[in-house]
Structures are given as structure tokens and as C-alpha cells.
Structure 1
Amino acid sequence: MTQPKRPVGRPRRHAEFDRFEAELPEVMTKRPAYNDGIGLFKGATGCTVWLKIRLPLGGVHNGRTVPIGGSVEIKKGKRASWTWQELIEERDRLQKLADHGKPLEATEVPTFATHAGEWLERKKSTLKSFGVTQGNVNRSLIPAFGKKALNAITVGDVNKWIGKKRATLKPGTVQRELNTLNAILNDAVRNGLIDRNPATWADKIKGVEARQRFVTEKEWKTILATCERIEQEQEDNREQTPHRIRGWLRHYVAWAYNSGMRRAEILALTWDNVREVDAEHTVVEVLNSKSDKSRFVSCTPEMKAIIEALRALPRMDGDDRLFPLSMTTLKRSLAALWKATGLNDVRLHDLRRSHATILMSKGIDPRTIAGRLGHSGTAMLAKHYAVDLGTRKRLRLLHNRSSEDVGV
């Protein structure tokens, strides 16, 4: 008599993986065997689990570059530490990261101090005011955020720091330090260390206004006369200060006023940057601009006269700069100049603003002026340099200066 068949029950949820594991030899000698991306290797010391993940976009794993569509094998530890469901979820998690081009390995997020130090090292050769930025980082930012991991810095932390700074510093100073913090955290975002920059969402600093200081004709004459007086005093005291570099102050200030160039751009000029186009036209090539793009600045008659005067300036052998002095010497001398003029609210950058405004008053096209100053567009020109002063009458003090003072 035929025995009736026993009803077949529902197979276990992960029966396929159970059979896969049971069919493997007790000791394997080669690579892991895989079933649907989950692998096992039975060795002399036990069974280990592996996952095979396909990288459709390619990438890097364990220091090895994986081509597009390649796969990586990831060891996950002892088999006894994992259930089949946990392995499936881990496989799917890693595969999702790979499908989006994200790293499979957990990266340890550095502290702010570590990343800020690396950022400064990379920016040392390109940052125009490296010393100032380095001071902001070391004196202000690292004491506040240095020990925190980059991903642990919150919007609240930034706001708390802003509040403390505003209690003792001017709004503009705090804004400049915040700009440095923004630059470092934005760099961390670009390098995949954090998802977003918390400083982007911080409270705005009230009281920060775009500085709009222009030099009038009377003030310009005062500046030139003070330069000449200082240089005459230096010449009279030549024997007491034989090593002082003399004869450059008036030339430097006049060059800034006539060219609209930035402080560091002027200091970096060499004789190779001076190009005589023809008998009447001379230009200087600016290589170390803020935008890292070179530009040519045509010389005014006074700039050409300054070039000839600078050729006679004493300088060390091998120094081919137009102005053979350091940034420290320049800053110290300009600070003394502004104090001597009595114009305490004037800075060198104001001569650049004045230059742009005078060109605007002469009807020169804004794009031409922006190109001379080294801006890619006219937005910065309108915001910080050549402000619409309303009427030609209000520009008269600037407009009446001789064409030999400023021109293109």
C-alpha cells in the first residue's frame, strides 16, 4: 500500500543560504565561495564572512583603485557574529553606497585643528594675505573649534563663537575671521569630510558695512607732500640709517593710485613684467592676481616716469623687483605715512577705489575698469569701488584732476 506524502511546510526564510553553507567543504584552501554577494570561507581556524560589492562608478577601496564596474571583496569577521538577515542588510547598505559613488570605508573625521593646519599648508603659496589668515586661525579659530571633530561643529557652536567675539571686536574684524572659518569648512565639504558647512547657517553679523572711502584731490596732494617730507627726512638721516631702503615710498603710493593694483600685486612686479608695446605704450603684466588670472595694466604717463625712477633705486644683486622691499617694511611705512598725514581713516586700498571712481567719472566703460582692476565682472566694481555718487557735481573734486594723474 502506497504511503501518503507528508505535506511540505514553508521553507525557512534563509534556507538557500543554509544549504549554501552546508554544502561547502569543512576546510577550504582558496578564495571564499559566494551566494548572491555573500561569501564564506572555511579555514583551519573557523568560518569567516565576506561580501562582494560591485562598484558601477568605480572608486578606491583599501588604497586600491577599482575601475568602473569592478568589484571588491570585504571581510566582515566570524560567521558566528552574523545572522543571514544582518549580512543581507549590510550587503545592501554597502551596495547602496557604491551605487551612489560614496566610499565604502568609514573615514575618521579629523579635528578642526588638524584640517585647518593642512588647509593653511596648502594655501601658503597662493593666499595673498597668508600671515593675516594664519593669525586668525591660530589666535581665534583653533582655540574655539580646534579640539572638535569637523562633523561635531554645529551652527550653535558658530553662533556662540560669534557672540563672544562681538563683545570685544568690531563687526568687520569678526566678519573677516568668520570668512576664514567659512573657507576652511567649505574645503572640508569639498573633500567629503562633512556634508555641509555649519557656518553657512550662522547668524549674520550686524554692523558690517562695505567700506567706501575715496581720496579727494586735497587729500591726495597732502599724501604726496607727506611722502616727499618723509623721504627727505630719511635722506637727511642717511648716515644714521645706512641700510634703510629709501626713495620708494612716493613712487609706490603714486603707482597704487595710478594703476588701481592691489598691494601684493605691486610688490610682486618684476622687470620682466614691464612690456614696451611701442614708443608710446607701456604695459605691466600682473601674474599674482587674487583670481589667479594674469592681466595687463596699461601705464599712465606718471607710471612710466616711476618705472624710469625705479631703475636707479639701489637694490641687492639678483633682486629684479620694481619695488625691492618686504611686505613688513611696506606695512610699517604706510602706517607711519597715514599717521603723518593726519588722515587716520585712509588706507592704501582706498587709492584703488579712488582710481576706479575717477575712471568712472571720465566715462570709461565699467567692463574696461573691472578688467583693469582684475575683476571678472562689474558687480564688485559697483559694490566696493566706483559707487554712483548721484551727480556729476558730486564727482567734480575727482573729475577735475589732470589726465596725467590717472588714466588708461
Structure 2
Amino acid sequence: MSVKEMPNGTFTVQFRCKDAEGNDVHKFRRGFASRKEAEEWERDYKATRGQTMAMHFSDFMKIYEEDMRPRLRETTWETKSHMIKTKILPFFGRMRMEDVRSIDIVRWQNKLMDMKRPNGEPYSPTYLRTINNQVTAIFNHAARYYGLHPNPAVKTMKIGAKEAGEMSFWTKDEYLRFSEAMMDKPRSFLAFEILYWTGVRVGELLALTPGSFNLERLEMRISSSYQRLNGQDLITDPKTPKSVRTIKIPGFLKDEVEEYLACRPDLEGDDRIFSMTKHYLAHEMKRGCAETGVKRIRIHDLRHSHVSLLIDMGFSALAIAERMGHEATDITFRYAHLFPNVQENMAAALDESKGGAF
């Protein structure tokens, strides 16, 4: 390092190095208060520009964003970014990538598990697993593409749980009781009708336009999703490629959509039918539950309810997965436990089958 002390007591640093593209660069900087500060600046510059693992974790996050952000939906990246800024950077930010050890990740995990939400409740097991997976993804990326060795995430155990311990849903009878309370507001009623009887995601519902429907063919086309991001309304691609799909709708739902659109001549083909927010739907659900006594569930649980209804009606996992836009049938199979009486019905049917054979 070429650090020199100047007559006024400050320090300068001058050096040559290669940048990330392999080009030779000459750097000169003055005004450092100490030799250590000047040497530290040189080391940080070389690590960051040369993309070596001597860089700080916070500097690597800038590189990680450049690599990953173009590959992700904007809403997905915003979720990741918030997680990194609030749950990961405060612990690892000033550590150098090459200095992070497995025990550091263990200590971060322990600290994370002790954290509480604003209401005093601990984070859910599934949320802990999501954050843990993000840390693993960061170090795996550094190891795979930037030569980090050893990878501190390899030896650490995961925390949290992959799936929620309990999945809520409404039976058909519960939904029908709830829907009666929505009839005083046609827009709310139709929104919940579509959510329950088609199983679409909330973002997919809020992106629907009159042009999304071919009522003669009893079809609803899902090709986009609504998101509210940084105070802006965004229409994005659906969650996954399989999410782009055409859903057949029952005749009664076709009649309800047709009747509602007939009362809304102001809607053009590309206008959103439901110019509302997820918060509004949650408020309406709370109102309906209070009026009818039906148990409270999340808006997303209406999607669970639809899958559960189809399973109870005897449809195959493959057919349900296609309707729901699931990437794999194993996602659909996770819902099977919502009908514990299915096993009893199977046993009874087998018993009857054997009895009928004699």
C-alpha cells in the first residue's frame, strides 16, 4: 500500500489495481485522518471493484442486487430487499464476506428467533424459514459466482418450518352463510364469489377487467396480477408461468358477472373491475364474519377453501393444480389433510366393497 503522511498531518493513498472487468485503474485519494483509515479505504476499494470476498457484506449486497433484481418480479425483489435491510444487514453488514463463519450464522439465527413483531408476538416458523433461506441464498450466490470459500451456510441447520402448521379454510356452508352478508354491496359480493368459486389469488382478482371474461364460453382468463408498490398501482405478470391460465367458471357465476357488468357501463375493456385494495377486502371479510358468526380466516385462505372443496368433490390433484396455476401437484397434495373424514370414507367404501364381493 502506498500511504503517505502529508505535512498537515493528513494521509493520502495511491495505488493501481484491476476493476471488475479486468482493466487497470489508477486511484489517488487524500484527506484521511489516519494511516489506518487510508489503508482501510484502499482495501475496501480493491475488494469492491475487484469483487473479492474481502469486501463487506453490505457492499456485496449491492452486487447481489445487480445480479438478482433483473431476474425477479419487482414485487418479489421489494419483499427480499425489505427482508435484507431489516433482518440481515443489521447483523452482517459490517462483516467482511471472507470473515463470516458458520457460528456467526448460528448467532444470527438465535437473535432472529428472539425478535418480536410490533404486537409482541414472535415471528411465525414459516417466516423464520423464509428469512433463513434468504441468508443461505446470499452466501450460496457468493460461493458459486465470486469464489467465497468456505461457504458458511453449508454447515448450518435451518430454522423455522417450510409449511404452516395449520391451514384455515371455509366449508361450502360457511362460505354461503358469509356471502349473504355481502349481498348489500354488489362489488364486494362478486369479488368474494370469484375468490371462493375459482380459487384465484387476490392479486389476480384485482387485475381482472371486462376483457378477462368470455362469458359465452364460461371462461375467465388470468394473465396479470395487481400489486400496490411504493404507493403506485402496478399490473404485473402473474406469480409463475403456470399462473397464466384460462379458468372455466360455473354458470351461476357467469350470470353474476354478466349482471354486474351490465350495471357498470362506465367500465371499458381494459379497466379494472375491482378498483379496490386488499385492505378493503380484509375489512369486508371482517364485517361479514362479525355479522354471520363465521370464523375469521385470511383472504388467501379462500384459495385454500376452493382447493379443499375440489378435493372433497373428488377431483384429481393434477386437474386441481392446472386450475389453480400450481407449478407442481405436490403443492395441491398439501391441502388433503383439510378433510380428515376422507380417510374414514375410504375405509367405509373399502369395507362396503369387500362386503359386496361375497
The two structures have a TM-score, normalised by structure 1, of 0.56
The yes-or-no answer on 1:290 pairing with 2:239 is yes
Worse overlay, 181-190 or 144-153: 181-190
Which of the numbers 41, 54, 58 marks the counterpart of 1:113?
58
Q: Counterpart of 2:319?
A: 368
In the TM superposition, residue 159 of structure 1 has moved relative to its aligned partner by: 1.9
Is the 1:273–1:284 contact (alpha carbons within 8 Å) kept by the matching residues of 2? yes
The yes-or-no answer on 1:248 pairing with 2:194 is no
**SS of residue paired to 1:221:** helix
Q: Deviations over 1:208-229 (max 9, x none)?
A: 6443222123431343234346
Q: Counterpart of 1:225?
A: 180
Q: Counterpart of 1:387?
A: 337
**SS of residue paired to 2:300:** helix
Runs of at least 5 residues in structure 2 that lack an aligned partner in the other structure: 1-19, 25-48, 117-121, 225-236, 346-358
Is the 2:127–2:160 contact (alpha carbons within 8 Å) kept by the matching residues of 1? no
Q: 1:179 to 1:115 in 2, by over 3 A?
A: same
In the TM superposition, residue 142 of structure 1 has moved relative to its aligned partner by: 1.9
Is the 2:177–2:294 contact (alpha carbons within 8 Å) kept by the matching residues of 1? no
**SS of residue paired to 2:337:** coil
One-letter identity of the residue aligned with 1:282: E
Q: Deviations over 1:6-62 (max 9, x none)?
A: xxxxxxxxxxxxxxxxxxxxxxxxxxxxxxxxxxxxxxxxxxxxxxxxxxxxxx963
Which of the numbers 265, 268, 271 marks the counterpart of 2:207?
268
In the TM superposition, residue 381 of structure 1 has moved relative to its aligned partner by: 1.0
Which has the larger Rg? 1
One-letter identity of the residue aligned with 1:178: N
Q: Counterpart of 2:130?
A: 176
One-letter identity of the residue aligned with 1:348: I
**In structure 2, what is the Cα distance between the partners aligned to 1:188 and 1:140?**
19
**In structure 2, what is the Cα distance between the partners aligned to 1:343 and 1:154?**
50
- Which structure exhibits the higher relative contact order, with contacts defined as CA atoms closer than 8 Å and separated by 6 or more residues? 2
One-letter identity of the residue aligned with 1:220: Y
Which of the numbers 171, 176, 185 marks the counterpart of 1:216?
171
**In structure 2, what is the Cα distance between the partners aligned to 1:252 and 1:330?**
8
Q: Counterpart of 1:146?
A: 93
Q: Deviations over 1:220-272 (max 9, x none)?
A: 1343234346x4xxxxxxxxxxxxxxx53222222111111112222223334
Q: 1:375 to 1:146 in 2, by over 3 A?
A: same
**SS of residue paired to 2:167:** coil
Q: Counterpart of 1:161?
A: 108
One-letter identity of the residue aligned with 1:357: S
**In structure 2, what is the Cα distance between the partners aligned to 1:361 and 1:318?**
36
State the identity %: 22
How many aligned positions are there? 279
One-letter identity of the residue aligned with 1:281: L
**SS of residue paired to 2:297:** coil
**In structure 1, what is the Cα distance between the partners aligned to 2:313 and 2:249?**
17
Q: 1:344 to 1:359 in 2, by over 3 A?
A: closer
Q: 1:282 to 1:219 in 2, by over 3 A?
A: same
**SS of residue paired to 2:222:** strand
**SS of residue paired to 2:275:** coil
Q: Counterpart of 2:156?
A: 202
**SS of residue paired to 1:225:** helix
**In structure 2, what is the Cα distance between the partners aligned to 1:198 and 1:330?**
43
Worse overlay, 131-140 or 331-340: 331-340
The yes-or-no answer on 1:323 pairing with 2:262 is no
Worse overlay, 145-154 or 251-260: 145-154
Is the 1:150–1:193 contact (alpha carbons within 8 Å) kept by the matching residues of 2? no
The two structures have a TM-score, normalised by structure 2, of 0.62
**In structure 1, what is the Cα distance between the partners aligned to 2:251 and 2:337?**
26
Match runs of 1:290-309 below 5 Å: 290-293=239-242, 294-309=244-259
The yes-or-no answer on 1:348 pairing with 2:291 is no
Q: 1:157 to 1:285 in 2, by over 3 A?
A: same
**In structure 1, what is the Cα distance between the partners aligned to 2:193 and 2:137?**
34
**SS of residue paired to 1:348:** coil
